[in-house]
Copies of this chain bind each other. A is one copy, B any other.
Amino acid sequence: MVTSTSLTETSPDELEQCARDATTAFEQWSALPARTRARALVGAADALVDAADELVAIAAAETGLTEVRLRGELRRTAVQLRLFADVVVEGDYLDVRVDLADPEFVLGPRADLRRTHVPIGPVLNFTASNFPFAFSVAGGDSASALAAGCSVIVKAHPGHPELSRRTGEIVRAALARRGAPADVLQVIFGQAAGVTLLGDPRVRAGAFTGSLRAGRLLADVAASRSDRIPFYGELGSVNPQFVTRARLADDATSLAEGYVASVSMSAGQFCTKPGFLFVPDVAAIASSIASAAALVAEHRMLNPHIAASYQRRREAVLECVGVDVIALGSLRVDGDGHGWTTPTIVSVSLAALESVGGPLLDECFGPLSVVVAYERESELPDVARRLFPGNLTGGVHALADESTPELAALVDVLARLSGRVLFNGWPTGVAVTPAMQHGGPWPATTSDAGTSVGTAAIQRFLRAVSYQNVPAHLLPPVLRDGESSVPRRVSPAGESTTWGARASADQPSQ
């Protein structure tokens, strides 16, 4: 299907064509050599960089994000595509395993068994408002799905429709120039169209970045299909930060500056914005926070809908019992209905926070954060457990050599409740690297098994297949002996007779 030239809701006939084309493109794309897929991804990255001036201008107009931010995000998106190109060529994401035939196998003769991963099929990506490049048409979900060998249908976010259309055009053309099928990437418009397509049997997986409400709705659509499909939704996160007494005493100013910068960058419209800062003494840091907040320039919010939601949430927070204002911030609506903000920082006691609950604890998408006064560090692990069941990130701020049982317990609890634990850092700014984890227990994500950032994101769009005693000429090349540079784990004959021995041996391990 040619990308819709209008930005209106994709029609049912177009959706039918789209699903058909995605299936054909999947068959072709998944059959291409890994290097061809990789080169096409690099081509897409180059094309995005070449079109930066045009795309950034469209994005700035549609989202209100700054040019500096958008250029950086476009660069990240191109780097991400290049990184996945190398992942495809290296092939260790395939987790290739070869069990050699074993007449001595402890349970009777073992066949030759070879396992690799194959792409799951056409993937439907619902994109985010707040990253018009990195979580949009050519963003992480698309890059990882294309790298896996899937075709991709992108449901454009209504907050940047023209950018979505134009990015789709540019990336489709670049992929096609490097040998990809024309419809390996398609763009559709409209929430109802997206829901309809998520129920189509030809769509084999879904991905989403956005609100808890929409993500849950879509996850339920995927789960209620007669043939269930995996759905990877990244929903909400409040990213609590915990400051030790020693760290606060050491340098409250730098702490306040880092905190306010992380809360207010891009008007706080990040899923990793720190929503809570736990300190033992609010008075010791409040004035530094207020000073830092006063220096933050007004920033437009992404769209009027988000500004209106932020306004409601901000007012609800300000009205909560026990809330004191550190920096009141502002929210001004201009003639076009756009909201312009400066950061709002409030404080509350831990007791008041627990007593108020939801209205204070729920995510607030925008430049608002809550400083929470705690009494004893020893209470923090239980606090985290009670109040923050699932987050993308959690952070501790302590002296580098601080080593108390409370701190160790807190780090351990945060690792159980979130996907990334930071030490003396701020959660905004997610590195695109092999070791990144961007996901977490519900409600951070619908499926805690995956990450939507970093090279491990490719694993969401794969399934495993084993070949038993299949002659080399009928195996995929990656499973043939001597025909592939992809790493493999080989299990030799005879090994099963020693299973359990390593576990029982006396040498130390881990």
Contact = CB atoms under 8 A, between A and B. Distances in A.
Contacts of A441: 227, 463
B503 A85 contact: yes
Interface string A450-476: 010000100010111111111101101
A469 B423 contact: yes
B421 A437 contact: no
Given A106-B79, A510-B33, A434 B499 contact: no
A419 interface: yes
Contact of A99 (B115, B118, B416, B434): B434
A88 interface: yes
B499 A467 contact: no
Q: What is the copy number of this chain in the assembly?
A: 2
A182 interface: no
Contact of A35 (B437, B448, B471, B503): B503
Interface in A40-81: 41-42, 45, 72, 75-76, 79, 81
B499 A86 contact: yes
A97 to B, nearest CB: 4
Interface in A403-451: 403, 407-408, 411, 415-416, 418-425, 429, 431-437, 439, 441-443, 446-449, 451
Contact of A420 (B97, B219, B422, B466): B466
Contact of A230 (B424, B449, B478, B500): B449
Given A416-B118, A503-B35, A503-B41, A230 B448 contact: yes
Nearest to A470: B423
Contact of A469 (B89, B425, B446): B425
A228 interface: yes
Contact of A474 (B88, B120, B228, B411): B411
Contacts of A486: 510
A418 to B, nearest CB: 8
Contact of A433 (B83, B88, B99): B99
A295 interface: no
Interface string A217-232: 0011001100111100
A485 interface: yes
A491 interface: yes
A157 interface: no
Interface string A136-160: 0000000000000000000000000
| Nearest 7 Cβ contacts at the A-B interface | A82-B500, A38-B503, A85-B503, A223-B223, A437-B466, A97-B435, A115-B435
Given A75-B106, A423-B467, 10 more contacts: A39-B504, A41-B500, A41-B503, A81-B500, A85-B503, A105-B431, A118-B416, A403-B473, A419-B464, A449-B462
25 contacts: A35-B508, A35-B510, A39-B503, A42-B503, A85-B500, A85-B504, A86-B500, A86-B501, A86-B503, A99-B433, A108-B429, A110-B433, A111-B431, A115-B435, A115-B437, A120-B448, A223-B224, A228-B442, A230-B447, A400-B471, A407-B474, A408-B473, A419-B464, A423-B470, A485-B510
Interface of A: 33-35, 38-39, 41-42, 45, 72, 75-76, 79, 81-83, 85-86, 88-92, 95, 97-99, 105-108, 110-111, 113-115, 118, 120, 219-220, 223-224, 227-230, 389-390, 400-401, 403, 407-408, 411, 415-416, 418-425, 429, 431-437, 439, 441-443, 446-449, 451, 456, 460, 462-471, 473-474, 476-478, 484-486, 489, 491, 496, 499-504, 508-510
